Amino acid sequence: MSTIRIDSRYNGPPNSANGGYVCGLMAAHINQPLSVRLYKPPPLDTDLELSFDTVSGKWHLKRDEQLLAAANPAHAHTRQHTHVPKAPTYVEALDAAIHYTGHQQHVYPHCFVCGPKRAVNDGLRIFAGKLPATNVVAAPWLPHAALDNGGGKVRPEFIWAALDCPGYFASVMPGRPALLGELSVHIDRSVHIEEPCVIVGWQILIEGRKHKVGTALFDEDGERCALGVATWVELAGQ
């Protein structure tokens, strides 16, 4: 059993953790590709227990006896059967970011990943906007030094986080409250600190309030480094 504590810096909504970061932190502790389902918003600045449940065969993240998230090994189809759009150039992603709807309307403007009110070198500031004549959103990303794994590359939990929010902006209508329900990520390799990267997001399927989306991270040479498949859930009655 491990103890995880999420610093308040890594919030999504104001009083809970960013979903992608939490999933990535679990994956970093377990050290294997995972599919993580979130059941409750994980609290900040609180000791949480990560343990393997022998009955279900899953890893559980709990606060006391309350189940917050469950993880199992990521399915092969996450990587093999997901069509990934072609990577735009870094300049094209910069242009797309100008059209980021979160600049005008954002449910969680202080989100660690996509919040426009986070300072440079504080939040990730990943602003995914539509690419012209496509249904794909794209964002430039220049990972800063605070994300370093000690060897000049980005820590895995931050790659998971970076692959979170662009999926929302690829599928959910601007201003509609939604939370990450499930996220699977496969990292082929990390990217370097200060490397000009590109992240894309696209819609896969909508079923009622559930939005299945894909996201991908590309390095400065346009090579795919990581792939995510997520389900976002619009909040009822909103």
Give the pLDDT confidence of 108-123 residue by residue, as tens digits.
999 999 999 999 999 9
Res 238: pLDDT: 56
Res 1: pLDDT: 79
- Structure tokens, 182: 């499930």
The ranges of the chain with pLDDT < 70 are: 75-81, 237-238
The whole-angstrom separation of Cα 21 and Cα 162 is: 8
Burial class (CB in 10 A: 0-12, 13-18, 19+), 26: buried
Query: Alpha carbon of 64 to those of 11, 14, 16, 163: distances in Å?
Result: 21, 22, 16, 29
Res 73: pLDDT: 82
Per CATH, the homologous superfamily of domain 77-234 is: Hotdog Thioesterase (3.10.129.10)
Res 134: pLDDT: 95
Phi and psi based region of residue 26 (left: phi greater than 0; alpha: psi -120 to 50; beta: remaining): alpha
Res 84: pLDDT: 94
| Start and end residues for every CATH 3.10.129.10 domain found in the chain | 2-73, 77-234
What's the predicted TM-score (pTM) here?
0.95
Res 79: pLDDT: 52
Res 237: pLDDT: 63
The whole-angstrom separation of Cα 104 and Cα 98 is: 11
Q: What kind of fold does domain 2-73 have according to CATH?
A: Thiol Ester Dehydrase; Chain A (3.10.129)
Res 10: pLDDT: 98
Q: Which residues contact 172 (CB under 8 A, 6 or more apart)?
A: 178, 211, 232, 234
